[in-house]
Structure 1
Amino acid sequence: MALQIDHLDVRYPGSAAPAVHDVSLALPAGQIGVLIGPSGCGKTTLLRAVAGLERVSAGEIRLAGQLVGSPGVQVPPERRRIGMVFQDYALFPHLDVARNVGFGLKQLPAAERAARVRDVLALVDLAGSERRYPHELSGGQQQRVALARALAPRPALMLLDEPFSNLDVDLRERLAHELRGILKSAGATALFVTHDQLEAFAIGDVIGVMHQGRLHQWDDAYALYHRPATRFVADFIGHGVFVPARIVAAGAGAQVDTPLGRLKNRTECPLPGAYEGDVCELLLRADDIVHDDDAPVKAEIVRKAFRGSEFLYTLRLASGELVMAHVPSHHHHHVGELIGIRAEVDHVVTFPPEPPAATFSEPNKASALE
């Protein structure tokens, strides 16, 4: 494995809880891994630990089989053969593109260094820009220079910490696809941090979802969406809601009773007995709900968001539950309208019911004064 992390903890001095706790993952050579999660989830701390910028409190980090981080081993960053690209690019404003890209190649003879600079600039589609300065480049071009500089020394691993965060949305989406092509053309192994799911899906071969310092799932995008390992992953990835459901025996398999009716012939869903009282909560994605005027179930539109080719409708069922649905945009209904819907669920994802939220009750004032 290019990168192997086993039961990793990273703890900041004075902190009650570790910033990263019991994280394990493996990234094969030539693959692109992406870490996503809400702010403060530990993804950047994990990246910094791999880079050697944070000390390991427990567990191990191995690069190409070599132990580089553990409570007793801390290989310095410059000896880890890692290329890094940060949010601000960190280009030297007084150096032209060629000298920025070749900054880490000073050990090479001049002719060989110049050839490598030309090669990586061509790889990032900036051939001929050697004599330009950073201030003469667009944000996207500066990001490419930073990437070329990181690739130039042929690192064993590339680390990228939200490199598109300073760019506008349209440019970010385009560069995400281009970045994947560049890394694949270079044969690079990379670990990428972002908070943007579309970026993660566009770039990653494998994606890790983090929350409160823990890695909940390390899998491809399809599995994260259709087979989430935890309730947090199910809730964090894509548009979806949880509705009450009950597992019902049906021959050798099972069916699921939901507020939208019974989902039949669900041999892949949990069998009766999997949950106490066979009661659970079913994940319904927006693409599990189909707009059908002839459907017996009607739902009220409470919100809608125009997405160009489709609307994202938030709908209230007669039972009070909310569901979401992607509907082609030529079905232009108004908030407050009732529309027919039905469920088409290919992947049954269920979790135990969440306990009811604790309610705050004000203490008896008379008693408090006694």
Structure 2
Amino acid sequence: MEKINAYMNRKKDFSGVISITKNGEVIFQHAYGMKDREKGMSNDLNTRFCVGSMISKPITALSIMQLIERNKLTLQTPIEEFFPHYKGSGITIHHLLNHTSGIVNYLMLRKKIGWDKDHTPEEILQIVKQEKLKYTPGKKAAYNNTAYLMLGLIVSKLSGVPYEQYVRGNVFERAGMTNTGFIRDNLDGYALNYRDHKIGPHVSPTLLFACGEIVSTIEDIHRFVQALQTEVLAKKETIELMQSPSYSGKYVTFGYGWFIKNLMGHKSVSHGGNHPGGYTSHIERYLDDNLTIVVLSNDITSYSPLMMKDFGATFISRDIAAILFNSKLHFWQKMF
């Protein structure tokens, strides 16, 4: 791991935690930077980070797949059964899961939905309903937070309990994720959010909901990954379906809750997370290699000229993969 250490020594602005596991065993793990600059408190392996979409969307997708296993719905269930406004749209659960619904992404409606204001998911959806579909469902793909907000509401409607309660009982507890929760839980040991080493802007946690409100530690993320490799959370064929292409385009391939890629000749499933207040994260599982790289950061900053700051965790994760595979990636492959 000398090359990884040498690489990270050059990323002196990085604040967060990095972990690499191979065949279920940790082969590299280290914390960097500060979780509270004012108090002089360093990040450590027990620090909780807002992980954003990184595991929030895979967990929301997994929750839907669990309900499918219980015959509560199917991938082809029309969403009009839950949201009558979309009657006749042809949008199904499949389209929500793989970002092909055509519904507008509510985070693109910032003038109508203030990021610093509290909103219920239903209030956000009422605003979204005023917008026309961006394209015919299934014809294109565009990363979509609204789809996962809607999936979270469906989980609640079908389970009869709040989304957060369902996830605690059916994912966190089953996987042994004892240090994982949601931003609004006000958990201790939490890394503060920074942008370029200064406290980042306030973003209401109500904006994130089923899309990105999960808070976790590096150890709990390991437990989640391990649980995905057994049948603790879902049947083997369900997990395999989630990790298989359900939409393949020129620039992106989606499974259900995961991005599907082939990087440097290695198949991977991945997801990044970006909280505009100052968190960036990335998980990539190289399936045939049984290798997982996780990067959690609480300071959005630039690690290279031309790179997009908000993709910093992805940038570092892919650089580390290139080192491990003794290969090279194009610059754009390090961010998308």
| TM-score when normalising by structure 2 | 0.26
Q: Which has the higher helix share?
A: 2
Report the structure number with the largest CA radius of gyration. 1
Q: Which has the higher strand share?
A: 1
- Which structure would you say has the larger RCO, counting Cα contacts within 8 Å and 6 or more residues apart? 2
| TM-score when normalising by structure 1 | 0.24
